């Protein structure tokens, strides 16, 4: 049981690391959502006919900065692991080495739209109109990605919670077994001590009888 408990603790540690990875994914996607919403807002503002060229230049600059920020998020890593790729995450979920596969976040929609600086721009009203349509699609993709991340997190938390309960039960069972063994050792020790004391008494009694016989012999 102790060996299984140690293996479960190792699995629990692995699950905790995967939870951290998923939470990092979710945090980045949340920031990406806010950035895209702001880009969509800028694309609408850029279509305002009363805006001057200077206004549009300022808006386009902020738009590009957000686009660069999203590009950095897209290539984010967690201890060297790509946070966003179509690769699956293989995670050990029990002490016997059973593995579950969790789908990754396919960034193809992200790549197709957000990383193409020529496709996504608000330098003209026409560009801004096209950008707003694209951003709506990207926002939907981000929403779906966050739902997938939430589902993965929910599954891992349930597994982790179940494993925690299992470990508590194993720990309690191990303690009981240790207590029983200790009790048996104590009983055996008491028995041995009783036998030892009994032997000592017998020896003392034997010596007493021997001395008495000698004393009687001397007396006679």
Helices 125-219 and 2-45 pack at an angle, to 10 degrees, of 160
Beta-carbon contacts of residue 164 (< 8 Å; ≥ 6 apart): 12
Dist CA 24 CA 19 (whole Å): 9
**Confidence (pLDDT) at 156:** 82
What angle (nearest 5°) sits at the alpha carbon of residue 90, between those of residues 85 and 94?
155
Q: What is the pLDDT of residues 161-205, one digit of tens each?
A: 777 777 776 666 666 655 544 455 444 534 543 543 454 456 445
CATH 1.20.1330.10 fits 2-172, yes or no: yes
Dist CA 150 CA 136 (whole Å): 21
Q: What is the pLDDT of residues 109-118, one digit of tens each?
A: 777 667 666 7
**pLDDT over 60 at 125, yes or no:** yes
**Confidence (pLDDT) at 44:** 92
Mean pLDDT of the chain: 76
**pLDDT over 70 at 17, yes or no:** yes
pLDDT over 90 for what percent of the chain?
A: 14
* CB contact burial 172-210 (16+ within 10 A = b; e otherwise): eeeeeeeeeeeeeeeeeeeeeeeeeeeeeeeeeeeeeee
Q: What is the pLDDT of residues 63-77, one digit of tens each?
A: 999 988 888 888 888
Dist CA 127 CA 121 (whole Å): 6
């Amino acid at each position: 049981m102790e060996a299984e408990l140690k293996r479960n603790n190792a699995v629990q540690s692995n699950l905790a690391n995967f939870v951290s990875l998923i939470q990092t994914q979710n945090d980045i996607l949340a920031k990406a959502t806010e950035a895209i919403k702001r880009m969509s807002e800028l694309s609408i503002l850029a279509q305002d006919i009363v805006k001057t060229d200077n206004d549009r230049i300022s808006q386009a600059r902020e738009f590009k900065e957000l686009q660069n920020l999203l590009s950095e998020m897209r290539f984010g890593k967690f201890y060297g692991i790509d946070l966003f790729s179509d690769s699956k995450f293989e995670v050990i979920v029990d002490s016997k080495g059973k593995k579950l596969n969790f789908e990754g976040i396919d960034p193809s929609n992200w790549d197709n739209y957000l990383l193409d600086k020529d496709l996504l721009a608000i330098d003209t009203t026409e560009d801004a109109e096209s950008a707003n349509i694209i951003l709506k699609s990207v926002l939907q993709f981000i929403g779906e990605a966050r739902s997938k991340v939430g589902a993965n997190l929910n599954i891992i938390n349930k597994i982790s919670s179940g494993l925690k309960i299992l470990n508590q039960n194993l720990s309690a069972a191990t303690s009981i077994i240790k207590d029983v063994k200790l009790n048996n050792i104590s009983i055996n020790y008491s028995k041995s001590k009783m036998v030892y004391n009994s032997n000592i008494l017998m020896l003392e009694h034997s010596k007493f009888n021997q001395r008495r016989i000698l004393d009687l012999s001397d007396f006679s």
